[in-house]
Chains A and B, each alone.
Chain A
Amino acid sequence: MSTRMVEVRAKVMKQNDLLARALRERFRGEGTCVVGLVSSPGSGKTAFLEKLLSGLARDARVAALVGDLATENDAARLQRATPNVRQITTGTICHLDAQMVEKALESWRLDRIDFLFIENVGNLVCPSSYDLGEELRFVLLSATEGEDKPLKYPTIFNSSDVAIITKMDLADAAEFDLPAARRNIESVRPGMKVFEVSAKTGQGMPAVFDFLHAQLASSRQIRVAAAL
């Protein structure tokens, strides 16, 4: 039987990408700075986010969506910092997608939120394929995981904008080679901004707050300029 070729040229992620783009425009329009957090399980995403929320809440309105396979423990933990926390339980799915984010945002007034954080499921592989409409993606790497993580998971590091080295209070005990970690990050994502923090001691957190405030101010300036 003969066959013929049909040209298609369709991006498989098109639907997710279109939805993510629409979300990004909506976030920008409402003046909300949206940051995605990705990391492996146990690298301290929730502890870091807890510190981010409580620190930023002093002079900004904050909210968070947290993705997890099954439990709602993370949301309960984060609600100590702000009531604006929603859990996205993904069941067996190892990543968040734009549709889950859109659905979880239902009835939230984005114009009353300055910073929205989206904590992905702990996974350094799958989330890299899914744009969630965030303005910035932070990838977390803990001092206890070892400095070669960026080399093992180059796609997620490359698709992120900022690297956060967490658990710096344990760096010495874990014999963490910080210069090597920084070199590895630079190798997979040249020019990437890196912060070193400890959610436990608070070390390095003010620099992250300043960075996020500057980000919010500049994105709002762009928005005002666009409206003029």
Chain B
Amino acid sequence: MHELSIAISMIDQILEESETRGGLDVEVVHLKLGTFSGVDKDALLFSYELACEGTRLKGSRLEIESIPLIIYCGACQKNRTPPSMYQLSCPECGTPGQTIVSGREIEVASLEVAA
């Protein structure tokens, strides 16, 4: 389980962001998490709460938006949703998809802060 490491990196980043903006009271953190990122959503939620202890983010809430896996089909020249995470091919024409368009992100999108 590497979600705790990820949660700590994330918190460091948010604290840095807060610092550069003169100190924010963060209430909600919005995270985009790709379904193909290798990071488990529930484990991350659990780790986040633990890792917030003793920081100014204590009491804040993590909201995770799951980003689906999308590949590019060279034959159709279109972005496609593959049939599953373990079958990276075009659902229309069956061509294997070597390019991942989205689904790998672990990205802090925005923060809800006390005004």
Contacts and interface: CB of A to CB of B under 8 A. Distances in A.
A217 B81 CA distance: 38
Given A6-B111, A150-B86, A189-B88, A125 B13 contact: no
A3 B112 contact: yes
A41 interface: no
Given A3-B114, A6-B113, A150-B86, A12 B38 contact: no
B100 interface: yes
B45 interface: no
A12 B32 CA distance: 10
Interface string A178-195: 000000101111110000
Interface residues of B, number: 39
Interface stretch (A70-78, A137-145, A154-162): A154-162
Interface stretch (A13-21, A27-35, A196-204): A13-21
Interface of A: 1-16, 93-95, 97, 125-126, 128-130, 150-152, 154-156, 158-159, 184, 186-191
Interface of B: 1-2, 5-6, 9-10, 12-14, 17, 21, 24, 27-28, 31, 36-39, 85-89, 96-98, 100, 105-115
